[in-house]
Amino acid sequence: MFRQIVGQAKKHPSLIPLFLFIGGGGTGAVLYVLRLALFNPDVSWDRKNNPEPWNKLGPNEQYKFYSVNVDYSKLKKEGPDF
């Protein structure tokens, strides 16, 4: 398959940006799904030792990918401990 893509790129050089953007988009999508699977507190891979990982987050830990107006380092805890 890779040989065919290289052959098409040699025949039609205008396809090279298309291949780059499609490859970059696919790579970005895979990396984002891996980030969600490994670092999101809603996902529990170890149910025996850590059944509820979202309860162990502190109030100043940012788990969102991008936060516009919230400075997580200045937040205080507002709820009870469970």
pLDDT value at residue 1: 81
Q: By residue range, what is the domain housing residue 64?
A: 45-81
Q: Which of 63, 74, 3 is nearest to 35 (CA)?
A: 63
Amino acid at position 60, single letter:
N
- 1 & 25 share domain: yes
- Per-residue pLDDT, 22: 95
CA distance 8 to 15: 8
Identify whether residues 28 and 51 lie together within a single domain: no
> Which pLDDT belongs to residue 40?
76
pTM over 0.85: no
Q: How many distinct structural domains can be found in the chain?
A: 2
pLDDT tens digits, 3-35: 988 888 899 999 889 999 999 999 999 999 998
Do 32 and 1 share a structural domain? yes
H-helix or E-strand containing 10?
helix 2-11
pLDDT by residue (tens digit) across 26-63? Answer: 999 999 999 888 877 677 777 777 667 666 766 666 66
One domain, residues 53 and 75? yes
